[in-house]
Amino acid sequence: MNAIEVKELYKSYDGVHAVNGITFEIGYGELFGFLGPNGAGKTTTINILCTLLKPTAGQAFIAGLDVSRESDKIREHIGLVFQETTLDNELTTFENLLFHAYLYGMGRHDAVKRIDDLLSMIGLQSKKNELVKHLSGGMKRRLELIRGLLHKPRVLFLDEPTIGLDPQTRANVWGFIKEMKRAEGTTIFVTTHYIEEASDFDRIAIIDHGRIVAVGNPNKLINEMGRATVTFGATDGATVQTLIGHGMIESGSGEYQIKTEDPDLFLKQILNLSGLKINEFKIKKPVLEELYLSLTGSEIRDEYVDRPRKIRGHNR
């Protein structure tokens, strides 16, 4: 059984197909990224999986439980961090957390210990008794993150957890998420439109116009998509002839290039040849952002703009 199973899921609003027939599964302990432009259907999908929204059609299961019929049981097993802040500004950090722990039926003793552990892990121990309205945006975000994890959920849903954060806080948030995955085996479903953040996730799905256009390990997807560019610098005549003999093309100022699907193999073949005089070499692999743009296009998507839906070809 998988942590999450989604089968042919749809959600429509008066002709707008927010989620338009998506199917995927996520294994226990996976860090899974849901990537897509504004309006792609990420939040709608999360809300269905968290049982906050009913699908128009299709099925979804969390830990084997049906989102349409077993929402109460599902809510015990999941943690949720919304796109918008939902903290109580007039309570302290500790009170916000304790209130949440009580909602989930935790006893005071366990709750206090867990709160202290998580506060130190995320670096907010010194803010324990501060009113939330006095915390910075980044601190509030980190506080929401640990609140979502208080009751040790099996699956944690995070909707744009790093939106608007500075690079240091983003790095801190990701470090913490990965640490929780390692330490507690939490399955993590996260949406983001900061594409490069997802480069080291276990798997990602790219969603556009309510449809999944790619799913898999990010490195594998990049490799499937793209040919890397290998560049050698050489001025020695014999070396140049050898490089050209292997299909490399001069790209100016003593540089020779080839595009290849298997740069490692190409390098091994070339570097095993004796007598080569190579000044330098570079390998440039495509990055996740390029894959993403090639699948979702470069058109700018403003949030919640109504536009006629194009029929698009989808290369899987």
Ligand X SMILES: Nc1ncnc2c1ncn2[C@@H]1O[C@H](COP(=O)(O)OP(=O)(O)O)[C@@H](O)[C@H]1O
Q: Which residues bind ligand X (CB under 6 A)?
A: 13, 16, 18, 36, 38-44, 304
Nearer to ligand X, 197 or 255 (CB): 197
Nearer to Mg ion, 43 or 296 (CB): 43
Nearest approach, Cβ of 45 to ligand X (angstroms)?
7
Nearest approach, Cβ of 48 to ligand X (angstroms)?
10
Nearer to ligand X, 36 or 263 (CB): 36
Nearer to ligand X, 18 or 87 (CB): 18
Nearest approach, Cβ of 43 to ligand X (angstroms)?
3
41 is written with which tokens?
């259907």
Given the rule CB under 5 A, which residues bind Mg ion? 42-43
What does the chain come to in residues?
A: 316
In one-letter notation, the amino acid at residue 12 is S
Nearer to ligand X, 16 or 121 (CB): 16
Nearest approach, Cβ of 40 to ligand X (angstroms)?
4
Nearest approach, Cβ of 84 to Mg ion (angstroms)?
10
Nearest approach, Cβ of 277 to ligand X (angstroms)?
53
Q: Which does 304 bind (CB under 5 to 8 A by kind): Mg ion, ligand X, none?
A: ligand X
Q: Which does 242 bind (CB under 5 to 8 A by kind): ligand X, Mg ion, none?
A: none
Q: Are strands 203-208 and 31-35 parallel, antiparallel or unpaired?
A: parallel
Nearer to ligand X, 183 or 305 (CB): 305
Nearest approach, Cβ of 1 to Mg ion (angstroms)?
28
Nearest approach, Cβ of 17 to ligand X (angstroms)?
8
Spatial CB neighbours of 53, under 8 Å, sequence gap ≥ 6 = 11, 44, 47
CA pair distance 257, 249, nearest whole angstrom = 5
Q: Which does 114 bind (CB under 5 to 8 A by kind): Mg ion, ligand X, none?
A: none
Q: Would you put residue 178 in left (φ > 0), alpha (ψ -120 to 50) or beta?
A: alpha
CA pair distance 73, 53, nearest whole angstrom = 16
Nearer to ligand X, 44 or 242 (CB): 44
Nearer to ligand X, 21 or 226 (CB): 21
Q: Are strands 31-35 and 187-192 parallel, antiparallel or unpaired?
A: parallel
